[in-house]
Each structure stands twice: as C-alpha cells, then as structure tokens.
Chains A and B, each alone.
Chain A
Amino acid sequence: MTSYRLATGGLIDRQTPLSFSFDGKRMLGFEGDSLASALLANGQLLVGRSFKYHRPRGILTAGTAEPNALMTIGQGGRTEPNTRATMQELYQGLEARSQSRWPSLEFDVGALNSLFSPFLGAGFYYKTFMWPAAFWEKIYEPFIRKAAGLGKASYEADPDSYDKCWAHCDLLVIGSGPAGLAAALSAGRSGARVVLVDEHSAAGGSLLSETATIGGASASQFVAETVAELASLSNVQILTRTTAFGWYDGNVFGAVERVQKHVLDPLPAVPVERLWRVVSKRAILASGAEERPLVFGGNDIPGVMMATAMRTYLNRYGVAPGKHVAIFTTNDSGYALARDLESAGVNLVAVIDGRPDAGFRYSGRARVIKGAYVSDAHGRKALSSISVWKNGSVETLKADALAMSGGFSPIIHLACHRGAKPVWSDEQAGFLAPTGLNGFELAGAVNTNSGIAACLADGAARGAACVEALGFTASVATFATVEGDIVAPPAKPIWKIPGIKGKAFVDYQNDVHRKDLALAVREGYGHVELAKRYTTNGMATDQGKLSNVNAIGLLAEARGVSPAEIGTTTFRPFYTPVSFGALAGGHFGHHFQPVRESPLHDWAKKQSAVFIDTGLWYRSSWFPRNSETNWRESVDREVLNVRANAGLCDVSTLGKIEVCGNDAAEFLNRVYSNGFLKLPIGKARYGLMLREDGFIYDDGTTSRLEEHRFFMTTTTAYAAGVMTHLEFCAQALWPDLDVRLASVTDQWAQMSVAGPKSRRILQPIVDDDISNAAFPFLAAKEVSLFGGQLQGRLFRISFSGELAYELAVPAGYGESVADAIMEAGNPHGIQPYGVEALSVLRVEKGHVTHSEINGTVIPADLGFEKMVSQTKPDFIGKAMLNREGLTAEDRPRLVGVVPLDPKASFRTGSHILAKDAAATLENDQGYVTSIAYSPHVGSTIGLALVRHGPERHGEEVVVWNGLCGEFTAARLCNPVFVDPQNEKLHV
C-alpha cells in the first residue's frame, strides 16, 4: 500500500487542480501543494536514489532539512538541480526529474554499490589514495566520478534576472511560526520598523500543520488574522519565500527571496530571486526546532518519515502517509501525530515509545508499546513491515508507513554564524545557542519552548523587550487560550538502538551509517571535525541538518563521553544553498564590470580603431588603413607618420588630478622625489613619485596653472591608486597642509598631437601664439580655441620624442575637436595613432612605463638620480632610499639592446648573458623589460635592466629566453634610439 490524498482536509485548494510531471509521468496536485505533498498524494513514495549506495529513498521531511527528495526542476536554462521537493511549491506545468539514478529510478545499476558496501565505508575515498596506486587513475577515479555528484547543472545561459537590495529595520524576525508571529505583533504594534521573514510560501510555520485551536479558531485562521493585522501596519514588512541564510558583522543578515521560483513562466521585468541584506538594530531568531531521526536498520526505506513531517502532510496537505501507520517516538510529540492520524481515519498500527516510563495520557485506540524500539524497517522500494525490539525479543508488525521522532534540536545555526559555539544541555537533550549574542535573541522552540502557547508567549515577550530596548513603548501581545496543544518536554535521547540488523543511516544524503562513525572512532578519527571529514557526515548540501546531532551522540557513545565533550562542527553561512544567480545579482554578462570609454571613443571608432582592454578602459590600439591586414603594418605606418608628419593619439585615459590650495606646491614637493616648489606658472614638469620604501610608484607630468593650482597627470593604470595615495598623504600624513584634490580624469578629453608638423596643424586652431618662442618645450597653459569658442589646456610635452602638444578640452567637446584637428591636419598628412604605435615611439625614445617601473626599480636604476632631490628635508621614499641594497653598485640599470642581426628578434622577459657565458642563473645579468619593432632603427629594439648597463654601451651580449630555448646575439646601447640630443623637442 502507499500514501494517498484524503477526501477532505488540508489547506489546499481542491477547486484548483494543477498538472505536473515526475520523470515524465503526468500527475495531478492542487494549489497549495508542495511538490513533495503532491508526489505523496499520487502515491509516489520512491523519489530518488542515495548518493553512494543508490538505495531507494523517499520523502523524509516536509521542509528545509530534506536530504532525500532532491530533484531537477525546469527546462533549458531554467534547469535547477538539487531542488528540495519539500520546499518547491507546485505549479501548473512543473516538470521534475529524479537524480542519482541510471538508467532509471526504478531500476538503478548503481544500486550494485550496495554489494560493495564493505569497501565503501568511512574514509574509503582517502584509502584509495593509499593503495594500490595503479588503481587510482583507471578504476577509482572514473568510478567515483560517475557514481558521485547530485543533479547536473545546465550548460545553457540562465534567462532570468536576479536582484540585490538592502533593508533597514529596528527588528528583524526570522521565522513566522507562533513565536515569530507573536514577536512581530508585539514589536509591530509599537511602531517599530519590523521585517518578518519566512522561508516557506506562507507565514505561519508549524501553525499551518496544527489541529489545535486558538480561542476556538483553527490555527490557520489565527495565522490569517495575525498576518492580516501585521500587513495592515505600514511599519511591518513581511517577506515570505525568504530564507535568512547568514548573520554577519554589525547585525547585518543575508537573506534570499525566491520571488518567482513557484511559477512556470517568470515575468521578465521581475527578478526570480532577490538577495537581501538586512541591517537591523535587533533581531529575533524564531527558527523553531528540527526533529531528529532515529537510527535503526532500514530507517531510509521509502515510507519512513519524520513524525512532524507526516503530521504536516496529513493536516496541511490532506495526505495520508499509508494505510497502516506506526509511530516510533522517544517523546510526547509522537502522540500529537497519533491523535491526528486517528481522527483522519488512518489505521494506526502502534505507537512504539522508547521510554519504559512514558507517562503521556493517550486516549486513542492504537496499541502503545513502551520501552520498545523499532530495530529494523523492512521493504525495498516501500516499507512493508517493522521489527519491534523489546527486552531482547522481536515482534514484527505490518506497516506501510512509519513515523519517527528522536527529539528536537533547536535550529541555532544563525546564532552561531559569528563564531559563538553551541552549548550542550543534558536537560534539554540538545545543543543550545550560546547566550550574550548582543542584539540577537531567540524565541520559541529554538529557545527550548514547547507547545503553541509557550511559543506565542515567549515570542510576544521578546518582541516587546527588543523594541523597548530601542526606546519604543511596547506592550506584550496576548492571545486567546490554545486548545489541544501538545507540549513535549525534552526526553532522553536514544542514540544507539539495540538489535539492529540492517543499515542504519545517520546522514541520509551522504549515505553515512552508524557503523561508519564507529569505524571513524576506531581508526582514530573520533574528533568531531575529523569524523565529519572522514565519514563525510554533514558535508552534503543539507549540511547535516538532520544528521549532525545524531552523529555527535553516536560519537559520544562510542568514545564513552557526553555530547558536550564532542561539541559540534562549525556553523557557517549559508544556512541553505544560495544560487550563484542571486549572489551575482545584476553583475553578469557585460554588466560584470563597468566599461570605461574615453571621451574620444566614438572618434576612434569612426577612425576604425581596433580597441584593447586596459583595465576597465577600452583604448584604441591601432587604426588599420586600406589594404593592411597585419597589425604590424598599421603600427609601422603610424610610427613613421608621426616621425615624418604628425599623428593624433587619444591620451584621455591618463589619470588627471587637480591639486589646489595654498600649500599645493609644498604638497607636491613632498609626494614627488624631485622639486616642485619653484616650478613656474605656465610650466610642466616630469615628476617621479616614490613609495615609502624608496621604489618608484608612478610618474607623470604636473603643470602649474596658477600659483596655487596644479594639474597632475598619472599613468592610466595607476590613476586610481595615485589619487588614493595623495588623499592619504593629504589627510593622514599632513592634515596641516592646505591642499585639496579632485580627480578630473573623466572631465577632460586629452589628445596628443605629435610630429614635426604638429605646430602647423594646431596653430590655426589655437588662438594663442604657440610658436617655439612664445610656447617653448614644457610650456603649459589655458588657451582659447576656435576664435574664442572654447577654452582648453595646452601642454608642450612629448612621449614620442617629436615636437608634440597635448591638448585637453572639456570631455563633451572631445570628438568635435579631434575631428577639427584631423581636418586641419589632413593637408599635412596627419593620421591617428594608437597605443601600440605610442609604445613603439616611447621605446624608440627610451621613455619608461610600468614595464620598467615594475616595483623593483629606484630612480637611479633608470638614470633619474638627478630627480631625487638632495636638498628637500622630506619626501615620500626619501628615508629608505639610502639603504644598502638600493645604493649598491651593481644594481640592474636601464640600457638599450639591439640584435646584431637586424632580422633577429627577442622577447620581453628574456635575460641578458655575457657573450660567452653559459646560460645559468648565476650568469644572469638582467632582463629585457620592453621590446618593439622600430621602423626607425629597422630592427627589434629593447629596453633592459642590466647590471652596470650604462657603462656597457656597445658590448655584445646574448639575450636568452630559457622558456623558449632562444639565444639572440645582441648589443647593449644607449636606450634613446631617436634624437638622443633632444633637438626635436625644442624646435
């Protein structure tokens, strides 16, 4: 026989049938069903195979802790593996598929694993590492791979959207059972901002499974009225389908709301899940208690179920678990189920109560067997009978469903997320949350209350106390009398049941049975953290919600100590699995990170630029023309054209920082190694910024626009870092200096116009005189453009070594100004050039970038010793620059390098060997930092950091690339390949 739907009862809407499928089989359920209740109503007891032994498994719980009924829901990109059927609301058209079975659920080849079970005990995985080695790759690994794993994720993209949001409140209440509802009511009535979250589809918690009445009304009616009142309060927010999964620093809670996981076609404009971060001044955990399974043989056979779950299916969903039901309990709660089953007309075979002295006054018809245990359940894909052990004799009873209750464990996970350890209580027979959680209170069953009335009273009192502590005036909500309330005081747990013959499971999801734990203790892994890893108990997706306390109890018995001495493993977020989608929120696809486009991006696009990612920036790399098919053709042309005519390059991505204030010059003097106090107004200066340890941090030009106003540029890569560094210097190191900083990188479109014809091109555009006399090298000033139509900033600085200008205009004008320059330059042969050509030009000129300034380099290494002021009393890096290692004679220093054969080449990162030296680490003399093909020189050229480099110009060396086995004969030379006398800069 099997489970079935009762003719009446339950909170389901029998007028609204829903059609769904399980493994392709069409079934009917009702609105209000969970997938699990609908499956049971259809008599589907077998819902999955276990992980290791592929044993047939049925639905065990009616909630979060479900270890067996994991299914794959949905199609295509919406495929969601490992969905707990107990948490999944039924909807029209739902498609569910079982997992961990092949080729089918009914006939599963993997079940053969059961035959090998002696070899698959605790630690078998680790033992495969030990012996025999040859077996690993061919046998163990493929075998374990195939057998292991739960559902399969889809390769298709998720079509749905996810969102993240914040909530702020005075009181967060987690759980909406009797304690949570009462707490929210007390607090809500006081006017405090309350957020009430519950992970189920409707508020009410255990009340929805109750047959007790409150003031004559059904428990569900009481819930409806209470929720209606809470909903009417504008200061209360109720979030159902929302799991609070973590407690974080500063009383921030993480929660995930399943907004549209209960519909076939989610509305595209609404996210399917929302990740909440709830900042709450106080919080109440009203998470209830988890019923513990009992560890007897065959306790995993479909038809065996938790007693409270069976009660939920019966009362909330109108589903009977079978025709002949037995109850195995260690506490009074089992009698609530007994009462409800009998009033629903289900045949109750027996109540097996482990306590010889059980004193509950049971008035039903069923036989009560005290001081007895179910030692074994029998059946394969469904329960057929049970063995009842009493004082050494065994009686067999026919039953098609068996409820079990091994007592209750408070659900304290969240209370332990910030490091506090649970405390074992013999009196409560469970682990309790530590006290003194500072702003986080427990109420209801998690706080060791039992029964509806006690939970209501506890919740109401704590809700009021929490908001009173925040200054609200609250009164404790009171409630009508509860009739039919069954209070189950904590009973002595029974870890080890006598007379067991079959496999008795502790962790259902990871197939850990009682003997595995005993083995772990025997083999020296009896510590709770070791036993966890050795047996994998508690390591499945359910994180041991049902199994951990039983495992601890069994370890304690095996070691002959109290569970208090065993302790628990560590509770960490997340309480239940959270989807990657929810964690990613909107940050996926091209929203994964922002894209920074230069103000000249569209101009570059028009010029057919090929772009390259540079951090978040897209920089124009080169500009192919006509028949060019290879990037080198374009780059060579662009380089030669800059040297012969002129080019326009977008340099807007360089960092730009405005430095103002009466002490701006003094400030710059302290952050640069070279002097800035005497920089005249209207002049630019190349500056070297060191780190406090003496190494170069960044470089750039800084111009004095006014007495107390400077315009600094940084490299593209270090723009943000330099800004942060300057802010640190200004705020933390020298707050007494009058200096203000503003990042203006995005405010200016900046273009370099370089080449011998650049002045002729720019002069018609710039109203001011830019002749060499009026605007010499390193001049910098605000200029008028286009006959007074626009103000810009013009700098006579050069990265290419040619006569060059950098023109900055307000970002919005960038594109039209670039267009105008291109038009004006057309007769002079102007062409755009990209960062590749820019790099060639700078290597030819021997200018350094972060390829050379690589964190190991001090100014003298690059020939910048004169840029280290000897007169300034202080600057960042000064004190450490005189250290032994930084003043050593043989530091690698900047030098040029060219191949002897112009057709030969070498790579960046290659090392320098003396001409006849063997290729060994000991003979390594330095390395190549940058290379380029120089159309000007007619060969590859490189910059390198080489020991005694500047003294070795002309020396023949070997460039050695040990990775590629390349040796290139080369010569060290002056690193400035173009215009070493700097004549072009001053024309």
Chain B
Amino acid sequence: MASLVPCPHCGARPKEEFTVKGAAQVRPAPDTDKKSWVDYVYLRENPRGRYEEFWHHTSGCRRWLVVIRDTATHEIESSCDAAFAGQTDART
C-alpha cells in the first residue's frame, strides 16, 4: 500500500517510485574463477534480517542506490548512492 524509501538525492519517497534489483553484490573481476561468477550470477542469500540491496530510483533521480533494510521488519537502516557504496560516510 505505502511505505517510504530514503533517497540520498530526493529524500523520503514512496516505494512505488523505486525498482529493486536484489542483493547488492560486488561484481567479480573478469578473470575470477568460475565458481565466484556462478555465485554472483545465480546464488543469493535469503536472510531474515539485514539485507543490502540495489534499488533504482526509477521514477525519481534515476540513481542506483544501495539500500540496507531488514527483510522481517521492512525497517530501512540506510541508503546511499551505489557509486559511493564503498565509502563509509556516504550513508544517509
């Protein structure tokens, strides 16, 4: 029905504006072994609790975000622009 996702660029926006892609994994280097690639492409954790995901602000600023949320409570811990996901001070 309704809930809000914090966008570091646009503020809290309704979730209908976003598209979720799934686990925010790090893409392996091209020469990484096959198993890592299979894991990256096909295997996902399915945790009850904290989960890092890629969300796209499709109907907003069109930036890709890393959103950390709790899959059980839907509580969103933080979000940041995916381009800065590695930087500790990028989270809102």
Binding site for B on A (CB under 8 A): 246, 248-250, 252, 254, 277, 279, 418-419, 573, 692-693, 724, 727-728, 731-733, 735, 873-874, 878-880, 883
Q: Which of B3, B19, B85 contacts A252 (CB 8 A)?
A: B3
Alpha-carbon separation in the docked complex, A692 to B62 (Å): 21
Residue of B nearest to A728 (CB): B64
B14 at the interface (CB under 8 A from A): yes
Chain A interface, DSSP helix/strand/loop, else mixed? mixed
How far apart are B91's CB and chain A's nearest CB, in angstroms? 16
Contacts of A573 in B (CB 8 A): 1
Q: Which of A252, A418, A733 contacts B2 (CB 8 A)?
A: A252
If A724-B58, A873-B30 touch, does A735 touch B4 (CB 8 Å cutoff)?
A: no
Known: A250-B4, A279-B4, A735-B84. 16 other contacts (CB 8 A): A246-B1, A252-B2, A252-B3, A252-B4, A254-B1, A693-B42, A724-B19, A724-B58, A728-B56, A731-B64, A731-B83, A732-B64, A733-B27, A874-B30, A879-B30, A880-B38
Contacts of A254 in B (CB 8 A): 1-2
Residue of B nearest to A276 (CB): B2
Contacts of A883 in B (CB 8 A): 34
Contacts of A874 in B (CB 8 A): 30
Q: Which of A277, A419, A728, A732 contacts B14 (CB 8 A)?
A: A277
Q: Are B1 and A724 in contact (CB under 8 A)?
A: no
B88 at the interface (CB under 8 A from A): no
Alpha-carbon separation in the docked complex, A951 to B27 (Å): 38
Alpha-carbon separation in the docked complex, A249 to B34 (Å): 40
Residue of A nearest to B66 (CB): A732
Contacts of B81 in A (CB 8 A): 731
Alpha-carbon separation in the docked complex, A735 to B82 (Å): 8
Q: Are B41 and A693 in contact (CB under 8 A)?
A: yes
If A693-B41, A727-B64 touch, does A248 touch B2 (CB 8 Å cutoff)?
A: yes
Alpha-carbon separation in the docked complex, A277 to B14 (Å): 10
Contacts of B19 in A (CB 8 A): 724
Give the interface centre of B15, B27, B56 by most chain A CB atoms within 10 Å.
B27
Alpha-carbon separation in the docked complex, A248 to B76 (Å): 13
How far apart are B69's CB and chain A's nearest CB, in angstroms? 9
Q: Are A728 and B21 in contact (CB under 8 A)?
A: yes
Residue of B nearest to A168 (CB): B12
Q: Are B30 and A248 in contact (CB under 8 A)?
A: no
Alpha-carbon separation in the docked complex, A727 to B19 (Å): 13
How far apart are A746's CB and chain B's nearest CB, in angstroms? 15
How far apart are A678's CB and chain B's nearest CB, in angstroms? 20
B63 at the interface (CB under 8 A from A): yes
Q: Are B41 and A728 in contact (CB under 8 A)?
A: no
Residue of A nearest to B5 (CB): A250
- List, sorted by A's number, 5 A–B pairs whose CB atoms are closer than 8 Å: A252-B2, A724-B58, A732-B54, A735-B82, A880-B38
How far apart are A417's CB and chain B's nearest CB, in angstroms? 10
If A252-B2, A419-B73, A880-B41 touch, does A727 touch B30 (CB 8 Å cutoff)?
A: no
Residue of A nearest to B28 (CB): A879
How far apart are B72's CB and chain A's nearest CB, in angstroms? 8
Contacts of B4 in A (CB 8 A): 249-250, 252, 279
If A727-B64, A880-B37 touch, does A248 touch B56 (CB 8 Å cutoff)?
A: no
Contacts of B75 in A (CB 8 A): 249
Residue of B nearest to A878 (CB): B30
Alpha-carbon separation in the docked complex, A731 to B64 (Å): 6
| A/B pair count, beta carbons within 8 Å | 74
B46 at the interface (CB under 8 A from A): no
Contacts of B37 in A (CB 8 A): 879-880
Q: Which chain B residues in 1-34 approach chain A with CB under 8 Å?
A: 1-5, 12, 14-15, 19, 21, 27-28, 30, 32, 34
Alpha-carbon separation in the docked complex, A279 to B74 (Å): 16
Residue of A nearest to B58 (CB): A724
Residue of B nearest to A253 (CB): B2
Q: Are A279 and B1 in contact (CB under 8 A)?
A: no
Contacts of B64 in A (CB 8 A): 727-728, 731-732
Contacts of A248 in B (CB 8 A): 1-3
Contacts of B41 in A (CB 8 A): 692-693, 880
Q: Which chain B residues in 30-79 approach chain A with CB under 8 Å?
A: 30, 32, 34, 37-38, 40-42, 54, 56, 58, 62-64, 73-76
Q: Which of A250, A418, A724 contacts B12 (CB 8 A)?
A: A250
How far apart are B19's CB and chain A's nearest CB, in angstroms? 7
Q: Are A735 and B83 in contact (CB under 8 A)?
A: yes
Q: Are B82 and A732 in contact (CB under 8 A)?
A: yes
Contacts of A873 in B (CB 8 A): 30
Contacts of A733 in B (CB 8 A): 27
Q: Are B58 and A731 in contact (CB under 8 A)?
A: no
How far apart are A626's CB and chain B's nearest CB, in angstroms? 46
Q: Are B56 and A724 in contact (CB under 8 A)?
A: yes
Alpha-carbon separation in the docked complex, A250 to B75 (Å): 7
Residue of A nearest to B21 (CB): A728
How far apart are B36's CB and chain A's nearest CB, in angstroms? 9
Contacts of B84 in A (CB 8 A): 735
Residue of A nearest to B40 (CB): A692
Residue of B nearest to A249 (CB): B3
Alpha-carbon separation in the docked complex, A249 to B71 (Å): 12
How far apart are B68's CB and chain A's nearest CB, in angstroms? 14
The 4 nearest A-B residue pairs measured at CB:
A249-B3, A735-B83, A732-B82, A250-B4
If A248-B3, A277-B2, A732-B83 touch, does A727 touch B27 (CB 8 Å cutoff)?
A: no
Contacts of A249 in B (CB 8 A): 2-4, 15, 74-75
Alpha-carbon separation in the docked complex, A878 to B56 (Å): 24
Alpha-carbon separation in the docked complex, A419 to B82 (Å): 31
Alpha-carbon separation in the docked complex, A254 to B3 (Å): 10
Contacts of A732 in B (CB 8 A): 54, 64, 82-83, 85
Alpha-carbon separation in the docked complex, A879 to B12 (Å): 38
Alpha-carbon separation in the docked complex, A959 to B74 (Å): 52
How far apart are A404's CB and chain B's nearest CB, in angstroms? 36
Contacts of A735 in B (CB 8 A): 82-84
Alpha-carbon separation in the docked complex, A114 to B89 (Å): 71
Contacts of B34 in A (CB 8 A): 879, 883
Alpha-carbon separation in the docked complex, A252 to B73 (Å): 14
Q: Are B12 and A279 in contact (CB under 8 A)?
A: yes
Alpha-carbon separation in the docked complex, A432 to B55 (Å): 37
Alpha-carbon separation in the docked complex, A693 to B39 (Å): 11
Q: Are A731 and B2 in contact (CB under 8 A)?
A: no
How far apart are A462's CB and chain B's nearest CB, in angstroms? 23
Contacts of A727 in B (CB 8 A): 56, 62-64
Alpha-carbon separation in the docked complex, A246 to B81 (Å): 31
Alpha-carbon separation in the docked complex, A724 to B32 (Å): 26
Q: Are A879 and B2 in contact (CB under 8 A)?
A: no
Alpha-carbon separation in the docked complex, A731 to B14 (Å): 22
Contacts of B12 in A (CB 8 A): 250, 279
Contacts of A246 in B (CB 8 A): 1
If A250-B12, A874-B30 touch, does A731 touch B63 (CB 8 Å cutoff)?
A: yes
Alpha-carbon separation in the docked complex, A138 to B38 (Å): 56
Contacts of B82 in A (CB 8 A): 728, 731-732, 735
Contacts of A728 in B (CB 8 A): 21, 54, 56, 64, 82
How far apart are B24's CB and chain A's nearest CB, in angstroms? 8
How far apart are A657's CB and chain B's nearest CB, in angstroms? 12
Alpha-carbon separation in the docked complex, A169 to B28 (Å): 45
How far apart are B27's CB and chain A's nearest CB, in angstroms? 6
Contacts of B56 in A (CB 8 A): 724, 727-728
Alpha-carbon separation in the docked complex, A249 to B70 (Å): 11
Alpha-carbon separation in the docked complex, A724 to B74 (Å): 25
Contacts of B42 in A (CB 8 A): 693
Alpha-carbon separation in the docked complex, A873 to B64 (Å): 25
Alpha-carbon separation in the docked complex, A643 to B3 (Å): 56
Alpha-carbon separation in the docked complex, A312 to B7 (Å): 49
How far apart are A810's CB and chain B's nearest CB, in angstroms? 23
Contacts of A878 in B (CB 8 A): 30
Alpha-carbon separation in the docked complex, A250 to B70 (Å): 12
How far apart are A183's CB and chain B's nearest CB, in angstroms? 23
How far apart are A736's CB and chain B's nearest CB, in angstroms? 9
Give the interface centre of A573, A732, A733, A873 by most chain B CB atoms within 10 Å.
A732
